[in-house]
Amino acid sequence: MNGKFYLYIGIALFFFTSCAKQEQQKKTNFVFILVDDLGWTDLGYSGSDFYETPNIDSLSKKSILFTNAYASGSVCSPSRASIMSGKHPARSNMTDWIPGDDPDNKMLLGPKDLDELPLEEKTIAEVLKENGYATFFAGKWHLGRDGFFPEDQGFEINKGGYHRGSPNSYYSPYNNPKLADGSNGEYLTDRLTNESIKFINERNNNPFFLMLSYYSVHTPIQPSKRNIEKFNDKLKRMGGEKVEIIDEGIAQTTINQRNPAYASMVYALDENIGKLIKALKDKGIYDNTTVIFTSDNGGLSTLNKNSNWVGPTSTLPLRGGKGWLYEGGIRVPLLVKPAKHNDKQRIVDAPVIGHDFYPTILSQAKIQKPKDYVLDGYDISKLFNKNTELDRKEIFWHYPHYHGSGWAPGAAIRQGHWKLIEFYETNSVELYDLSKDISEKNELSSQYPEKVKSLRDKLHHLQKSMNAKAATLNPKYKI
């Protein structure tokens, strides 16, 4: 063969390689920021009068801001499983935090649910990895023990994710088997962000899926030492107001945001999100990256009166908090900055929920869903640019367990502006019109019996369709 032949082959290979690299560069990157226990009003843009979040506020001005975003569950593990699997907690039988309370001295017994996300589930990380994405996880996992960690569920790198739902300490030494200790006194929120930035900076042309699942702002409430004085001083300037609480059945709910330690944790979170966004911009890939920012459930505002402490934050004007199916326990912040977004804020009022992220990410990545794999979520990317509605008529929550917040087994459904909550101990329901009563103060079940029946019937139908496990009477319970 003559030299011209090899020249032609070389040119062809060059163009093929160049095209392949360009195709890789065109693929959307994903940065998924999941905060633990962040309340709907814990941010500056959402109305906090004490916490400060300038970087998140700035992101909100250039993102799709969802005002009716919900977690799939009112506690962590069900919500996290739904994000990873795209399935409703009732379908996957992951309906409580792991391992859960399961008291044996109550009227009802919660059903036996799973303590790990089954390996048979096709996680969003696995699908993206199979389609050429580098996958990275940092932070809280809480979806199973050895054999069920992030690296067993599609993530090539795992920094800090294991079975525990809260950190031993926010300061090094962390005593975390999946995260080497840093220098003495290193702050966990800083460390997880730095590990994420390192991953970003090491990327060449390969697209990536980065899930930064902060342990913040979950208990223990350990202040950011560099920020605590800022909020101690701010509280003094505000007159040193004390935390206020109100009764919620056997529980009590914090109704103002006056905890300096918690405020310092929120501020440190915001600082680190600012660093992460800057890293994407410095790398020149911010425009080609979809950024998702949300929480796994509502803020920790409501606790059983037997607790020795009160919730560190408030979700007002919402009712209740983490663990409850009132709005304070399930409504969460959600910002989505899509790749190639025009830098203008868009406010979307359509209700969306945590298991919607899976099909939405696949849509943004132009990847088909796995064959024969059941998804309960909806692709919400159609809401990014158009005044449209999803063809889903209702969303529901299934939490047939007791929780330390004072919640007793029950379920809820939202259809349009109507919301019904069913309480299993008392075999009772509550009905609210969220368009007029976001605080769920005006209970309407006696005024709209037909609406109660239709919503209750629909809730039971949805539960049955997913083979939802029910709470049962405790034969050992004595009144």
Please give the backbone phi and psi of residue 470, each rounded to the nearest 5 degrees, phi first: -105, 155
Please tell me the distance from the alpha carbon of residue 467 to that of residue 93, in angstroms, as a whole number: 9
Q: Residue 385: its pLDDT value, please?
A: 86
pLDDT in single tens digits along all 479 residues of the chain: 555 544 545 544 444 444 444 445 589 999 999 999 999 999 999 999 999 999 999 999 999 999 999 999 999 999 999 999 999 999 999 999 999 988 999 999 999 999 999 999 999 999 999 999 999 999 999 999 999 999 999 999 999 999 999 999 999 999 999 999 999 999 999 999 999 999 999 998 889 999 999 999 999 999 999 999 999 999 999 998 889 999 999 999 999 999 999 999 999 999 999 999 999 999 999 999 999 999 999 999 999 999 889 999 999 999 999 999 999 999 999 999 999 998 889 999 999 999 999 999 999 999 999 999 999 999 999 999 887 888 999 999 999 999 999 999 999 999 999 999 999 999 999 999 999 999 999 999 999 999 999 999 999 999 999 999 999 999 989 87
Q: Residue 307: its pLDDT value, please?
A: 87
Structural domain boundaries of the chain? 27-392
Per the structure block, which two tokens stand in for 370?
């796995």
Q: Residue 299: its pLDDT value, please?
A: 98
Q: Residue 10: its pLDDT value, please?
A: 52
Measured between alpha carbons, how far is residue 12 from residues 5, 9, 21, 24, 401 in Å?
11, 5, 14, 18, 63
Please tell me the distance from the alpha carbon of residue 88 to that of residue 308, in angstroms, as a whole number: 34
Cα four-point dihedral sign 163, 84, 357, 69: negative
Q: Residue 352: its pLDDT value, please?
A: 98
Q: Residue 25: its pLDDT value, please?
A: 57
Q: Residue 205: its pLDDT value, please?
A: 83
**H/E element holding 274?**
helix 260-282
Measured between alpha carbons, how far is residue 403 from residues 71, 95, 96, 291, 356 in Å?
17, 12, 9, 32, 25
Per the structure block, which two tokens stand in for 11?
């040119």
**293 neighbors 30 (Cβ within 8 angstroms):** no
* Strand residues in 342-445 grouped as ranges (E): 346-348, 352-353, 394-399, 410-415, 418-423, 428-433
The candidate with the shortest Cα–Cα distance to 50, out of 346, 299, 219, is 299
Cα four-point dihedral sign 282, 287, 290, 292: positive
Measured between alpha carbons, how far is residue 46 from residues 8, 39, 261 in Å?
60, 10, 20
Domain 27-392 in CATH: superfamily?
A: Alkaline Phosphatase, subunit A (3.40.720.10)
**H/E element holding 337?**
strand 334-337
Residue 387 DSSP label: S
The candidate with the shortest Cα–Cα distance to 86, out of 319, 282, 354, 303, is 354
Report angle CA 80, 152, 216 to the nearest 5 degrees: 35
Please tell me the distance from the alpha carbon of residue 122 to that of residue 125, in angstroms, as a whole number: 8
12 by Cβ neighbours in 10 Å (0-12 / 13-18 / 19+) ranks as exposed
What's the pTM? 0.94
Q: Residue 479: its pLDDT value, please?
A: 72
368 by Cβ neighbours in 10 Å (0-12 / 13-18 / 19+) ranks as exposed
